[in-house]
Amino acid sequence: MNNVSKLLMLIPLGIIALGCSKSTPTPAQGTTTTPTPVTSSSLFAKGADVSWLTQMEASNLKFYDSTGAQKDCMVLVNSLGINSIRIRAWVNPSGGWNNTSDVVVKAMRAKALGMRILLDLHYSDTWADPGHQNKPAAWANLNFTDLQTALYNYTKGVMDTLKLNGVIPNWVQVGNETNDGMCWPDGRISTNGNSFTNFAALVTQGYNAVKAVSNTSEVIVHVSNGYDNSLFRWMFDGLKASGAKYDIIGMSLYPSFTNGGSASWPSVNSQCLTNMNDMISRYNKSVMVVEMGMPVNVPAAAKSFLADLIAKTKLIANGNGLGVFYWEPECYNNWQGYGLGAFDNTGKPTAAMNAFIK
């Protein structure tokens, strides 16, 4: 076990209250903490990634319901129909946000409200996406055998720490938007002769580490552009041929990043549904939209897009469409330059969030 993993395993129960060496804000005065329970009729994941939340709270940003009453953000999104929370994890991030202790703080808050948890492991010290998959600095000089061990130990360390704090994630992403693999250059598909061997090995190490702690947690491989069937066939044909282990195919969907822009959402959703059905029949895997979003300044279109996507995903045969997650709806006032949230500039949810209330 490497030093990073040893440190993770040593995090005691009490330290999570420190978050990222900063105090965790208390809920807004008068806030109710009555959870909306997950029942047999709400197994479909209506989710939100709120990974920025503790950092926003530390910056004194507040959240309000439609009447203007200040609310704890987790309580507020739960009251709007959100039953699942997605949380990203970085290995050793600058500033501490999204490290293991910060992940545990948010996960415990979500669990206290009866919400399920999707753990999103980036396997990086910062953002991992189709154009960026940098290894953590602590892993930079490892050979591939040791890199696999480090990834396994880190994954197991995060899972063990969550478990020690009473949290078992329902789903775990091993990598984030891994269109060209992860932990570059070792796990990059395109620079290894379009070979999936290394990437599949890393995915399987993550899978094995998750299952070593919780056999009930389902493992997701996440690829962007959920409308792009050729990309998904290339990816999951390659992983299948290389013997990768995983449970669920995850995808992102952002119409505003397509050539047609936000207005193209009806065709994007239709293509995504076709792709989801193909993934299920081709690989015998369930599917989940783990990220979606629309510009905050078009809330009506965002609501229509989201409601249609939820409806389409719910209608997939045999319950194989597992859920839809908004990325990050709580962002407002151009937080971190992000404009695809679903809260207005006063910190209130926009009409887009009403798509979850059913």
Which residues are known catalytic residues? 177, 291
C-alpha–C-alpha distance, residues 194 and 178, integer Å:
14
The DSSP annotation for 70-132 comes to: EE-HHHHHHHTT--EEEEEE-SS-TTSTTSHHHHHHHHHHHHHTT-EEEEEE-SSSS--BTTB
Task: Give the Å distances, CA to CA, from 343 to 35, 109, 305, 349.
Answer: 21, 20, 16, 4
CA 78 from centroid of its chain's CA atoms? 17
Nearest to 283 by CA among 316, 228, 320: 320
Pairing of the two strands 63-64 and 70-71: antiparallel
C-alpha–C-alpha distance, residues 340 and 297, integer Å:
8
Tokens describing residue 216: 């009930």
Can you give the length of the chain in residues?
A: 358
CB 205 within 8 A of CB 155: yes
Q: Is 31 exposed, middle or buried (0-12, 13-18, 19+ CB in 10 A)?
A: middle
Q: Where are the alpha helices (DSSP H) in the chain?
A: 3-9, 53-58, 73-79, 100-112, 144-164, 197-213, 229-241, 265-283, 299-314
Which DSSP letter does residue 248 get?
E
Nearest to 27 by CA among 70, 87, 78: 70
Nearest to 47 by CA among 269, 306, 225, 227: 306
Q: 3-class DSSP state for residue 222?
A: strand
